[in-house]
Amino acid sequence: MTQLITTELVELDQNLGNSPETVIRHLASKVAATGRASEVEGLFADAFAREQKTATGIPGGIAIPHCRSAAVIEPTLAMARLDPKVDFGAKDGPADLVFFIAAPDGADQAHLKLLSKLARSLIKKDFTAALRNASSREEIVELVDGALADKPAAHAAAPAGVAAGAAGAPAGSTSAGPVSASSAAGDSASSRPKRLVAVTACPTGIAHTYMAADSLVAAAQEAGVDLQVETQGSSGAKPLDPAVIAAADAVIFAVDVDVRGKERFAGKPVINAPVKRGIDEPAKMVQEALAAADNPHARRVPHFGAEEQAEHEADEKGEHIGQKLKRALLTGVSYMIPFVAGGGLLIALGFLLGGYDITEVADTVVVENNFGNLPEGGLTTYLGAVLFKIGALSMGFLVPALAGYIAYAIADRPGIAPGFVAGAVSGFMGAGFLGGIVGGLLAGYMAHLIGTWQVPRWLRGLMPVVIIPLLASIFASGLMFLVLGGPIAGLTLALNGWLSGMTGASAVVLGIILGLMMCFDLGGPVNKVAYAFAVAGLSAGSADNQAPWQIMATVMAAGMVPPLAMALATVLDKKLFSLAERENGKAAWLLGASFISEGAIPFAAADPLRVIPASMVGGALTGALCMAFNVTSQAPHGGLFVFFAIGNLLMFVISIIAGTIVSALAVVALKRWAAPKSAATVETVPATV
C-alpha cells in the first residue's frame, strides 16, 4: 500500500494566509505537485465545497479539511503546522494543526480505514502535542505512520464502544462496559446504569463520522455511562446489535445525512444534532440524552422511523412553518425535475423527427406499427412517435412525483405512496401541479401525524407498509376527490388560460419579472421559485398552447446570463478582478452555457452590491426579449446543449447575448465607478464545473 504521507506533503510553521481557502488551496497544490492528484483546481474546489457545508475545525486547535474527489489519484494526507493560526470554525478558536485528507472517489476500504483512523487519533492530546513539538518533517511523518500502524487493542483511540468497520476496529466491538449504579450519571431511579446508543455520519464519511463517535464514547466513559456507537462512514459500518438497541434508554443521532435504518430505534428518546456537535460538545450531548431518557415527554424516534433528520435539526434551530413548507416544496421539485427533463427532451426529439402532427397519431403508430411495418412517413415518423410517447408518459409522472416527494420530505418513506396517489388523483381531476402541491402536503402531514401514534408493538410492523399509506391515501385523495380537486382544477384552467392569452406588453412584463427573479439570488429561494413555476407548467405545453414553453425558455435564458456576463467582464477589464476571479471566469463560460446560474456565485459572494444588480438588469432584458419573440423550450435544463428543444433558436441566442453584454458592461462600470477593492485583496469562492 502506498504511503499516505511523505515529507514533501508536510509544511512546518508556515504562513499560509489568513483563511481556510488559502490553506486548503496550498495543501491541494502540494498534493498535486507530488503527482497524487491530476489537477489542483478540481481538488481544491471539492475540498472547499466540503468546507463550506460544515466547518472542519475541531476543539484543540485542529482542522481536518477533507473530501473525496475525482482529481485524487491515490489517498493522501497533507499536513501543515501554521504560524499564524487560521480560523476553521472551531468554537475554541483558530487552528495551528491542519491535516488535509484527500481520497479518490473510488478509494478502497483499506485506505479509507487508515484515513479515518488518523482522524480519530487527532482527538488525543498526546498525539497532537507530539505533532506540535516535532522539529522536522521526518518526525511528523514518523508520528503519523505510527498512529496509522497502531493496533486497536493497544490504543486508546479506538474506543470499544464504537461498533463499525472504522480504522481497524474489530467487527464485533463491544461497549465500554457497564458501570456501577452509583457512578452512572443521572441514574438514581434505576437499578442499572443508563445505556445509550448513537449513530454518527457525515456526507464524506472519512473524518467527522469517526471523530464524533470517539468523542461521544470518551464523554460517556467520563460520565460513567454505557454508550455504543454505530458509525455510518465510508469505510463500512456494522449495525448495532438489535439487543443493544432494545436495551438502550436513549439514542443520539450526530449526523449531517439521513440515518440508515432509523426505524430500528423506534420509540427511543432521541437527541439530534449535526455531526460536528458530537466533536465539539460530546459531554453536553450525553447529558441531554440522559435527561431525555428520564423525560416521558422527550422527543422520540417515530415508530415507523420516518421523521426526517432535516426536520429534527430544523426544529431544534426554531425553523418556522414557512421554512418547512419551502423545504418540502423544493424537495418535491428536485425529485420531479428528472421526469420533466427526460420527458421534455424526448418529446422535443419526437417533434424533431415526426413534426408537431405526431401528437395526433403517436398512440396508433406505436401500437400498430414496427420496424417491419412502418407507418406513412417512414422510419422518422415511427421513431418520432416512439420518442414522443415515451416522453409523454414520463411527463405524466410530473404531478404524482411532485406530490409524492413533497410528502416524502414531510413524512419520509411512509409518505411516498399516499403522496403519489394524491398526485395521480390531482392529475385525473385536472388540478395540475397546484393540486399536486396541495395533495402532497395533505398526504405528507397526515402520514407524519399517523406515524406519531402510540400503537401496540405487534402493530408497529404494519404501520409503515399498510396502515400509514392506507389512511393517509384515503384522507388526502378523498379530500382531492370530494372537496378540493374541482376548485383547484378551475384555478389551474384559469391560470393556463391567462398564460395562453398573454401577448405583447403583458408577456414582456412577465419576462422581465422572471428574469429579475432568476438573477436575484443565483440558485437561491427566489431563483428556485421562478424555476419551479416554469418546470411545473411545462407539461401543459403543446403545439396549440406554447405559453408554458415560452416561460421555460425565458427562465432558462435569463438564468444563463449571470455566469456568462461575469465571464465576459473578466475579459473586458481583467485588472478589476483577482486572479482567482479570472480563473472562475474561465469556468463560468461553460457553466453559463449549461444553464448553471451558480457559476456567478463566486463573483456575487465577493461583491454582491455590484454583481447582483448588474446581473438582474441583463436577466430582465433577456427575459423580455424571449417573451417578445416567442422563444420556446421543451427542455427544463441544459442551456445551449439542448438546442434541438428550443423554438426560435436564433432569438434565444440573441436574447442571451444581449443580456450578457448589458450585465458585463454594467458590472465593469459599477466596479470602476464604486472604487472596488484591490484585486489582490478580493477573496472569492471558486466555481466548479
- The yes-or-no verdict on residue 77 having pLDDT over 70 is yes
**pLDDT band at residue 184 under the 50/70/90 scheme:** very low
What type of residue is 13?
A: D
What type of residue is 2?
A: T
More confident residue, 91 or 258: 91
**pLDDT band at residue 471 under the 50/70/90 scheme:** very high
Mean pLDDT of 173-187: 35
Give pLDDT, residue 256.
Answer: 75
More confident residue, 558 or 52: 558
**Most confident among 378-382, 472-476, 506-510 (mean pLDDT):** 472-476
What cell does 231 get?
458509525
Give pLDDT, residue 108.
Answer: 54
**pLDDT band at residue 192 under the 50/70/90 scheme:** low
CA–CA separation, 409 and 334 (whole Å): 11
Give pLDDT, residue 107.
Answer: 57
CA–CA separation, 594 and 581 (whole Å): 19
- The CA-based angle 130-135-141, given to 5 degrees, is 65
CA–CA separation, 74 and 486 (whole Å): 60
Give pLDDT, residue 284.
Answer: 93
SS3 (DSSP) at 104: strand
Give pLDDT, residue 320.
Answer: 61
What cell does 251 get?
439514542
Clarify whether 66 is annotated catalytic: yes
Give pLDDT, residue 159.
Answer: 44
Mean pLDDT of 507-530: 84
CA–CA separation, 251 and 256 (whole Å): 16
Q: Are 534 and 552 in contact, with CB atoms under 8 Å apart?
A: yes
Give pLDDT, residue 524.
Answer: 64
Q: Within 13 Å and on the Cβ side, how many CA atoms surround 479?
A: 20
**pLDDT band at residue 349 under the 50/70/90 scheme:** confident
Same fold, 7-149 and 195-304: no
**pLDDT band at residue 581 under the 50/70/90 scheme:** confident
Q: Strand 10-14 to strand 76-86: parallel, antiparallel, or no bridges (unpaired)? A: parallel
**pLDDT band at residue 20 under the 50/70/90 scheme:** very high
- The yes-or-no verdict on residue 309 having pLDDT over 50 is no
Give pLDDT, residue 311.
Answer: 46
Query: Among 73-77, 83-87, 112-116, 296-300, whose mean pLDDT is lowest?
Result: 112-116
Q: Are 625 and 658 in contact, with CB atoms under 8 Å apart?
A: yes
Q: Is 581 exposed, middle or buried (0-12, 13-18, 19+ CB in 10 A)?
A: buried
| Domain ranges, ordered by start, for the chain | 7-149, 195-304, 321-491, 505-674
Query: Among 88-102, 166-180, 487-501, 609-623, whose mean pLDDT is lowest?
Result: 166-180
Task: Tell me the β-bridge partners of 230.
Answer: 163, 199
More confident residue, 675 or 76: 76
Give pLDDT, residue 427.
Answer: 87
Mean pLDDT of 684-688: 41
Give pLDDT, residue 645.
Answer: 83
CA–CA separation, 162 and 147 (whole Å): 18
- The yes-or-no verdict on residue 442 having pLDDT over 90 is yes
User: Which is nearest to 637 in space by CA: 546, 542, 565, 535?
Assistant: 535
- The yes-or-no verdict on residue 659 having pLDDT over 90 is yes
**pLDDT band at residue 365 under the 50/70/90 scheme:** very high
The active-site residue, picked from 202, 448, 519, 626, is: 202
**pLDDT band at residue 314 under the 50/70/90 scheme:** very low
Query: Among 162-166, 278-282, 553-557, 673-677, whose mean pLDDT is lowest?
Result: 162-166
| Alpha helix positions (H), 573-648 | 579-593, 601-606, 608-628
Give pLDDT, residue 663.
Answer: 96
DSSP letters spanning 434-491: HHHHHHHHHHHHHHHHHHTS---HHHHTTIIIIIHHHHHHHHHHHHIIIIIHHHHHHH
Give pLDDT, residue 179.
Answer: 31
CA–CA separation, 97 and 60 (whole Å): 9
Q: Are 499 and 537 in contact, with CB atoms under 8 Å apart?
A: yes
Overall pTM > 0.85: no
Per CATH, the number for 7-149 is 3.40.930.10
**pLDDT band at residue 205 under the 50/70/90 scheme:** low
Give pLDDT, residue 425.
Answer: 94
What cell does 327 get?
423545504
CA dihedral defined by 82, 88, 89, 91, rounded to 10 degrees? -20
Give pLDDT, residue 317.
Answer: 46
**pLDDT band at residue 303 under the 50/70/90 scheme:** low
The mean pLDDT of the chain is 81
- The yes-or-no verdict on residue 305 having pLDDT over 50 is no
**Most confident among 91-105, 197-211, 233-247, 448-462 (mean pLDDT):** 91-105
Fold of domain 195-304 = Rossmann fold (3.40.50)
CA–CA separation, 396 and 668 (whole Å): 46
Give me the count of residues in the chain.
689
Q: Within 13 Å and on the Cβ side, how many CA atoms surround 250?
A: 26
User: Which is nearest to 165 in space by CA: 205, 105, 133?
Assistant: 205
**pLDDT band at residue 182 under the 50/70/90 scheme:** very low
Q: How far is CA 190 from the centre of its chain?
A: 43
| Alpha helix positions (H), 301-413 | 309-316, 321-354, 358-368, 378-395, 398-411
| Alpha helix positions (H), 224-270 | 242-247
Clarify whether 519 is annotated catalytic: no
Query: Among 108-117, 334-343, 497-506, whose mean pLDDT is lowest?
Result: 108-117
Cα end-to-end span (Å), the chain? 32
Mean pLDDT of 396-420: 90
Q: Are 444 and 415 in contact, with CB atoms under 8 Å apart?
A: yes
Mean pLDDT of 499-521: 82
- The yes-or-no verdict on residue 185 having pLDDT over 70 is no
Mean pLDDT of 358-372: 89
Q: Are 81 and 14 in contact, with CB atoms under 8 Å apart?
A: yes
Task: Tell me the β-bridge partners of 227.
Answer: 196
Place of cell 467520563: 222
More confident residue, 212 or 440: 440
Per-residue pLDDT tens over the stretch 27-51:
999 999 999 998 888 899 888 888 8
Exposure string of 612-623, with b = 16+ CB inside 10 Å and e = fewer, is bebbbbbbbbbb
User: Which is nearest to 680 in space by CA: 577, 552, 593?
Assistant: 577
What cell does 410 get?
414531510
Give pLDDT, residue 11.
Answer: 93
- The yes-or-no verdict on residue 210 having pLDDT over 60 is yes
- The yes-or-no verdict on residue 424 having pLDDT over 90 is yes
Cβ neighbours of 126 (radius 10 Å): 10
- The yes-or-no verdict on residue 515 having pLDDT over 90 is yes
CA–CA separation, 434 and 480 (whole Å): 11
Give pLDDT, residue 187.
Answer: 41
Cβ neighbours of 33 (radius 10 Å): 12
- The CA-based angle 540-545-546, given to 5 degrees, is 90
Give pLDDT, residue 683.
Answer: 41
Task: Tell me the β-bridge partners of 236.
Answer: 233
Give pLDDT, residue 312.
Answer: 46
**pLDDT band at residue 122 under the 50/70/90 scheme:** confident
Give pLDDT, residue 161.
Answer: 53
Give pLDDT, residue 623.
Answer: 95
Give pLDDT, residue 572.
Answer: 93
Put residue 168 in one of left, alpha, beta given phi > 0 → left and psi -120 to 50 → alpha. left
Q: Are 589 and 567 in contact, with CB atoms under 8 Å apart?
A: yes
CA–CA separation, 170 and 559 (whole Å): 52
Q: Are 141 and 6 in contact, with CB atoms under 8 Å apart?
A: yes
User: Which is nearest to 382 in space by CA: 362, 400, 397?
Assistant: 362
- The yes-or-no verdict on residue 671 having pLDDT over 90 is no
Q: Is 155 exposed, middle or buried (0-12, 13-18, 19+ CB in 10 A)?
A: middle
84: cis peptide before it, omega within 30°?
A: yes
